[in-house]
Amino acid sequence: MTHTAVVAGVGPGLGASIVRRFVDEGCQVGLFARSGDYVDELAADLGPDAIGVAVDVTDPDAVREGFETVRDAFGPVDVLVNHASGGAWKGVRDISAEEFDRALDVSARGALHCSQAAVPDMLANDGGTIVFTGATSAVRGRDGAIGFSAGKFAARGMAESMARELGPAGIHVAHVVIDGQIRPPEVDDEPEDNDDEYLDPDAIADSYWHLVEQDRSSWTLELDVRPHVEAF
């Protein structure tokens, strides 16, 4: 089955790996990022099944326009990855109200805007899939990152609420807890002594595709991934 997907918050690393995996599986993908430079370059590299769109996910009008761009190119959207996140790496004594608001705007309100734009397409067709990118901070608040932690907790709650609301209508909502450090793009592919400490972004993207392809009889609500050297 051909899917039309939007990945919101694409950058080097996991976002790019998700897009590449989806395109490799035959999807047509809209790449959202606040700045269009990187996603335009990545889309050009991936070919006609990818389109880069400059979208600030905190702006509901920009999100609606971005989805219209993807629909015009590829048709109704049936897969959404809410991948954008933000947050000042500061604790309660240092973070400003504006920085805290920005963290919630990107991680939670951005996901809301994108979900509200995608769900009507899914309801009008044969359902769909919405995946939220989470983090360790979504289940265990991080010291010195109150904005990031609050945003990720909020997004996790949204995923759980939406799964219960939308599941009966055929929309699979899942939350992925990334419990570890993703291998940065600047780390080369040659094995290193500390290579086991990193999560491979391509391997994580495999898990995202599995969520899209899951049978409706056994949907996953929450998936957590971590390096094998980490204790459970």
Fold for domain 4-184+194-225? Answer: Rossmann fold (3.40.50)
117-131, pLDDT tens digit by residue? 999 999 999 999 999
Tell me how far apart the alpha carbons of residues 179 and 200 are, in angstroms, rounded to a whole number.
12
Global pTM reads 0.93
State the DSSP string of 8-45: ES--TTHHHHHHHHHHHTT-EEEEEESSHHHHHHHHHH
Token pair of 85, please?
Answer: 């996140």
What letters, b where the CB count within 10 A reaches 16 and e where it falls short, cover 34-62?
A: beeebbbebbeebeebbbbbbbbbbbbeb
Handedness of CA 119, 222, 85, 194 (dihedral sign): negative
Above 60 in pLDDT, residue 232? no
Phi-psi region of 167 (alpha: psi -120 to 50; beta: other; left: phi over 0): alpha
| Residue 154 CB coordination number (10 Å) | 18
Task: Give the per-residue pLDDT at 11.
Answer: 93
Tell me how far apart the alpha carbons of residues 149 and 3 are, in angstroms, rounded to a whole number.
32
Token pair of 154, please?
Answer: 């909020």
Task: Give the per-residue pLDDT at 195.
Answer: 60
64-101, pLDDT tens digit by residue? 999 999 999 999 999 999 999 988 889 999 999 999 99
Q: Which residue has the higher pLDDT, 136 or 58?
A: 58
Give percent above pLDDT 90 in the chain. 80
Instruction: Place 188 in a pLDDT band, splitting at 50, 70 and 90.
Output: low
Task: Specify the range with the lowest mean pLDDT, choosing from 68-77, 106-115, 186-195.
Answer: 186-195
| Residue 232 CB coordination number (10 Å) | 5
CA neighbours within 13 Å on the CB side: how many for 25?
Answer: 21
Task: Give the per-residue pLDDT at 69.
Answer: 98
Instruction: Place 189 in a pLDDT band, splitting at 50, 70 and 90.
Output: low
Closest Cα partner for 78 from 18, 28, 113? Answer: 28
Task: Specify the range with the lowest mean pLDDT, choosing from 171-180, 189-198, 206-215.
Answer: 189-198
Average pLDDT rounded to a whole number, residues 181-210? 79
Q: Which residue has the tokens 């010291």?
A: 143
Above 60 in pLDDT, residue 193? no
Average pLDDT rounded to a whole number, residues 158-182? 96
Average pLDDT rounded to a whole number, residues 170-191? 83
